[in-house]
Amino acid sequence: MDGKQEIARKERPKRTFLYTAIVALYRVVAKALFFLRIEGRENIPKGACVLMGNHQCILDPLTLALCTPDREIHFMGKKELFQNPVLRWLFTKVHGFPVDRGNIDMSAVRTALGVLADGDTLGIFPEGTRSHDGHMGPLLGGASLLALRSRRDVVPIYIDGRYRPFHRITVRVGEPLKTQDLLAQRVNKETCDALTGRMQAAFARLSGGRSLPPGPGEA
């Protein structure tokens, strides 16, 4: 991240009209069309934290945004979304920033750590892409790396249900993952893998096992 990007991020207001308007409109639509219900919102810490959700639809960031009416979330999104000038303008205005999923994107890592250092909340979809079969894909290690480097609470959020009109969507917010033992060690592949395993287990609990890939003969 260059100097201009750093200044722009620090000067960005905590509350923005566009973010507030979009989320308010989506709240009405989600309750009317999806009967959306959020469980466990009280599990989200008051301060900066990392919210990690499963990813099945482009509406998922808005659904996560409904979990934190007291703050705005900064979302990391695939760089392809920012190649369109209109979408780039929109996502940037609502605290989005790009990440190159195919490489170790240190610019995105620095931006994410800066967001958390400023006391803001970071939203990540650790699968890295959308799932189309109802099960979560493998979780990328970069999400665990960010969580451990930032030393912030990690909150798993499972979105249960399809975005179909008049079909219920239930959002389950889990308790922050226990990371004290991992933070007492060096941040390396072993500690990142351990946190990734805890994330997978947390999603499995929140989903009643539906987040896990199907076993042999179940696909």
Query: Per the domain annotation, does 102 fall within a domain?
Result: yes
Query: Per the domain annotation, does 15 fall within a domain?
Result: no
pLDDT in tens, 67-79: 999 999 999 988 8
pLDDT at 104: 65
Q: Are 55 and 127 in contact (CB under 8 A)?
A: yes
Which domain, by its residues, includes 198?
49-207
Q: How many domains, in total, are found in the chain?
A: 1
pLDDT in tens, 80-118: 888 889 989 999 999 999 988 766 678 888 999 999 999
The count of other CB atoms within 10 Å of the CB of residue 167 is: 11
Residue range 161-167: mean pLDDT, rounded: 94
Q: Are 66 and 23 in contact (CB under 8 A)?
A: yes
Q: Are 122 and 113 in contact (CB under 8 A)?
A: no
Q: Does pLDDT of 15 surpass 80?
A: no
Minimum mean pLDDT range among 7-21, 32-46, 102-116, 137-151: 7-21
pLDDT at 12: 47
Query: In this structure, what CATH number is given to the domain that contains residue 135?
Result: 3.40.1130.10
Q: Does pLDDT of 143 surpass 90?
A: no
Q: Does pLDDT of 5 surpass 50?
A: no
Query: Per the domain annotation, does 33 fall within a domain?
Result: no
**Strands of the 73-78 sheet, one edge to the other:** 37-39, 170-173, 153-160, 49-53, 121-124, 73-78, 96-99
Give percent of the chain with pLDDT exceeding 90: 67
CA distances from 92 to 89, 97, 104, 162 (A): 5, 6, 21, 27
Query: Per the domain annotation, does 74 fall within a domain?
Result: yes
Residue range 171-187: mean pLDDT, rounded: 96
Query: Per the domain annotation, does 144 fall within a domain?
Result: yes
For the chain, the average pLDDT equals: 88
DSSP state of 176: P
Q: Does pLDDT of 8 surpass 70?
A: no
Query: Per the domain annotation, does 159 fall within a domain?
Result: yes
Query: Per the domain annotation, does 28 fall within a domain?
Result: no
Is the overall model pTM greater than 0.85, yes or no?
yes
Q: Does pLDDT of 196 surpass 70?
A: yes
pLDDT at 80: 87
pLDDT at 214: 62
Query: Per the domain annotation, does 63 fall within a domain?
Result: yes
pLDDT in tens, 40-57: 999 999 989 999 999 999
